[in-house]
């Protein structure tokens, strides 16, 4: 009795796929760690490139791997490495007024990624990014209100409204560059 090759699972392909996934998560985590610390202080919450990297991550990696990338980024920051805005890190940053926004990156990646993975239309993809960002705003603003004992209106005017135009620009940039990056990655692998 001879064994056919069809009956033997191709573990080489599965191993390659897992290695590719791990490398992709590590790469996007590294990109986040490099770009997120660069920020512009505009009040209690700085403008950073973190949301742009998350938009790119969910588009390129899907929601599971992008969420894992966000989680690893947060763990690296909690460990004290200066990967959060303004080159800060440590658990104190998460306990501070902007900690809710940092934690909000995870549900942002999940929601945005799940919606983008089912959407072909760029308008729907844009709306997915907007919804994910709104969820991040809710997490961050609620935490900001608790920590600073601020009212919702004051927190919204200080922590949300100034960021909407920039986040819209980041969403547009992600929607322009991500299809090209994804096309290049598919042809390379």
User: Which value, to the nearest 10 degrees, does the dihedral of the CA atoms of residues 35, 69, 185, 119 take?
Assistant: -110
The answer to whether 181 touches 60, Cβ cutoff 8 Å, is yes
Domain assignment of residue 66, yes or no: yes
Which DSSP category does 39 fall into?
E
**Residue at 155 is within a domain:** yes
Q: What is the pLDDT of residues 143-167, one digit of tens each?
A: 999 999 999 999 999 999 999 999 9
Give domain status of residue 3, yes or no: no
Domain membership of residue 119 as a residue range = 17-34+44-180
Residue 187 lies in a domain: no
For the chain, percent of residues with pLDDT exceeding 90:
78
**Does residue 96 belong to any structural domain of this protein?**
yes
**What pLDDT band is residue 12 in, cutting at 50, 70 and 90?**
low
Q: Mean pLDDT of all residues in the chain?
A: 91
Inside any domain, residue 57: yes
- The number of folded domains in the chain is 1
| 159 domain residue, yes or no | yes
User: Which CATH number fits the domain that encloses residue 29?
Assistant: 1.10.1760.20
Name, of 18-22, 26-30, 181-185, the range with top average pLDDT: 26-30
Alpha carbons 51 and 104: distance in angstroms, whole number: 10
Q: Does residue 169 or residue 46 have the better pLDDT?
A: 169
Supply φ then ψ for residue 62, to 5 degrees.
90, 165
């Amino acid at each position: 009795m001879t064994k056919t090759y069809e009956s033997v699972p191709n573990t080489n392909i599965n191993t390659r796929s897992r290695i590719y996934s791990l490398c992709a998560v590590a790469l996007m985590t590294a990109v986040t760690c490099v770009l997120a610390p660069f920020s512009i202080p505009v009040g209690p919450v700085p403008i950073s490139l973190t949301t742009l990297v998350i938009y790119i991550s969910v588009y390129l990696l899907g929601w599971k791997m992008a969420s894992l990338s966000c989680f690893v980024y947060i763990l690296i920051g909690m460990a004290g490495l200066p990967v959060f805005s303004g080159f800060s890190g440590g658990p104190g940053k998460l306990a501070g007024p902007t900690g809710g926004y940092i934690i909000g990156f995870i549900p942002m990646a999940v929601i945005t990624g799940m919606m983008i993975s089912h959407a072909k239309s760029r308008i729907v993809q844009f709306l997915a990014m907007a919804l994910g960002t709104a969820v991040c705003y809710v997490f961050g603003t609620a935490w900001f209100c608790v920590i600073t004992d601020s009212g919702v209106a004051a927190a919204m005017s200080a922590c949300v409204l100034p960021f909407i135009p920039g986040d819209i620009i980041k969403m547009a940039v992600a929607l322009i560059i991500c299809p090209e990056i994804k096309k290049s990655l598919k042809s390379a692998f």
